[in-house]
Amino acid sequence: MSKNTKLWGGRFEGTVEEWVEQFGASISFDHQLAKFDLMGSLAHVQMLGQTGILSLEEAEQIQDGLQALLRDLEAGELHFDIANEDIHMNMEVLLTEKIGPLAGKLHTARSRNDQVATDMHLYLKEQLGHVLDKLANLNSVLLDLAEKHVETIMPGYTHLQHAQPISFAHHLMAYYNMFQRDSERFAFNLKHTDLSPLGAAALAGTTFPIDRQLSSDLLGFQQPYTNSLDAVSDRDFILEFLSNVSILMMHMSRFCEEIINWCSFEYQYISLSDSFSTGSSIMPQKKNPDMAELIRGKTGRVYGHLFGLLTVMKSLPLAYNKDLQEDKEGMFDTVETILNSLDVLAGMLSSMQVNKAKMQQSTENDFSNATELADYLAEKGLPFREAHEIVGKLVLDSIKHGKNIQDWDLKELQAYHPLIEEDIYIYLRPETAVQRRNSLGGTGFEQVKYQIEQAKKELKGEN
Ligand code: ARG
């Protein structure tokens, strides 16, 4: 049997067949951690030098080798080999090619278990920064749009039925609030990602006099993990990320569903710019909201990744198990999906056209002003339940006669209740209905302007 030449090959007499090796290898995807693996190694070796575990000269030579690898990586000149299984062993082999057997000292007081966890923390910390930036950008696009549409009136819906007229800006600001909560969740996620597992070694710590605080500081982490077993087996920070992205995608998917409805022939509330629409290969007239549909559709794969990892983690005994290698592909895909989706949604919103007239019209030919009449009577002292009953009857009669409430003349309306007077026609206008809903957080113009002002301060970090 041929000698086992793996970095861990010492206790082996046989070799693994190539197809089995491929099954176990992760380099085809964990190469995305290359930069972070080098950063982790640089901090580790600096710590080994400063604590005297390696001589300063040894540490410097290893650092020079790692820096050279970093330059090669940036130049696109690093080539990985599946025979070396994963990013960590590929890097060690490449370092050995650069500086010879001294490379073997880098792995003193370290294991791939704390190494891979460190890489993942560094990677996700960087990506969380991008997600937060893109979310802030999306919300500033929403704020700009809301500012332009405080007085644009649209039907507010419940059960997808016209309910009461609202300001379009109010509708947009509902999403602003959802996305702000998403930001807060990611900021909290950052707290659990900003921890250093380095120095936990395989599972139990090490006999070498390492300085975990130093390597944590060198890597810019908030602090080292407290427990070495937890450090190498914790993937909560990735699960939190996947669940936060799931909630964010759910919000985006709801928004996209509305966008898809709004640009249909039935609504015609908006039209998407050509740069965010596609045509049909058979129907020449088509302009499809594909990008909104794709965001809605991609929500499914993110949920899948969350459930995939939750299932991997379920029942996993402490500490490291190879199952944990399955934490990566779903996370990488989720990062790519969310960063692209955030850009696409922001671009779609900033370039779409809003058909104010069409929105307004659909509040004029419906019964979304029925509550106004009921409130009007209640304000004049009639118990609300009675007012509700009377207006319900009036709506029924209106439907039978093909009319809206405001189409009846005053005498006819007074037949339903004598408290109704000439000013009712003002109350029945959609603008009045919106403008008067000035309760805190309501759709009244003043309230919406207040929301926007507060949100602007919030985005600038002023409150
Ligand atoms: N490629 C491995 C992973 O992603 C690295 C850690 C391997 N550790 C081990 N003890 N086999 O999880």
**Between 96 and 281, residue with greater pLDDT:** 96
Ligand 1 center–CA 386 separation, angstroms: 71
pLDDT at 355 over 50: yes
Mutate to test the pocket of ligand 1, among 116, 118, 120 (most ligand atoms within 8 A of CB): 116
Average pLDDT, the chain: 96
Three-state secondary structure call for residue 163: strand
Indicate which atom in ligand 1 lies nearest the CA of residue 87.
1
Please give the radius of gyration of the chain, using alpha carbons only, rounded to the nearest integer.
Answer: 31
Long-range contacts, stretch 70-75, CB < 8 angstroms, 24+ apart? 70/35, 70/38, 70/42, 73/34, 73/35, 73/38
The Cβ of residue 42 has, within 10 Å, a number of other Cβ atoms equal to 20
Q: Of 316, 416, 433, nearest to 369 (Cα)?
A: 433
Q: Of 191, 295, 195, 186, nearest to 241 (Cα)?
A: 186
Q: CA-CA distance, 409 to 422, in Å (whole number)?
A: 9
Q: Whose CA is nearest to atom 3 of ligand 1?
A: 325
Based on the residue annotation, tell me whether 280 is a catalytic residue of this protein. Answer: yes
- Take residue 93 and report the two structure tokens written for it: 């082999």
Domains of the chain, first to last: 17-108 (1.10.275.10), 113-208+222-361 (1.20.200.10), 364-460 (1.10.40.30)
- Take residue 316 and report the two structure tokens written for it: 């996993």
Mutate to test the pocket of ligand 1, among 30, 112, 313, 327 (most ligand atoms within 8 A of CB): 112
pLDDT at 302 over 60: yes
pLDDT in tens, 113-139: 999 999 999 999 999 999 999 999 999
pLDDT at 290 over 90: yes
pLDDT in tens, 410-455: 999 999 999 999 999 999 999 999 999 999 999 999 999 999 999 9
Whether a cis peptide bond, with omega within 30° of 0, leads into 319 is yes
pLDDT in tens, 31-83: 999 999 999 999 999 999 999 999 999 999 999 999 999 999 999 999 999 99
- Take residue 240 and report the two structure tokens written for it: 């939190």
From the candidates 159, 275, 281, 439, which is the catalytic residue?
Answer: 159
Q: pLDDT confidence of 2, banded at 50, 70, 90? A: low
Mean pLDDT check: name the lowest of 3-17, 52-66, 113-127, 153-167.
Answer: 3-17
pLDDT at 381 over 70: yes
From the candidates 55, 264, 273, 280, which is the catalytic residue?
Answer: 280
pTM: 0.95
Helical segments of 274-429, H only? 290-313, 328-351, 356-361, 370-379, 384-401, 410-414, 424-427
pLDDT in tens, 278-289: 887 878 787 899
Ligand 1 pocket residue status of 86, Cβ below 6 Å = yes
Q: Find residue 278's DSSP bridge partners.
A: 288
DSSP string computed for 237-282: HHHHHHHHHHHHHHHHHHHHHHHHHHTSTTT-SEE--GGG-B--SS
To which residue do tokens 């779903």 refer? 330
Q: CA-CA distance, 16 to 11, in Å (whole number)?
A: 13
Beta pairing class for 161-167 and 195-196: unpaired
**Is residue 393 a contact partner of residue 207, using CB atoms and an 8 Å limit?**
no
pLDDT in tens, 223-261: 999 999 999 999 999 999 999 999 999 999 999 999 999
Ligand 1 pocket residue status of 58, Cβ below 6 Å = no
pLDDT of the residue at 258: 98
pLDDT of the residue at 316: 98
Interhelix angle 236-262/112-148, nearest 10 degrees: 30
Ligand 1 pocket residue status of 334, Cβ below 6 Å = no
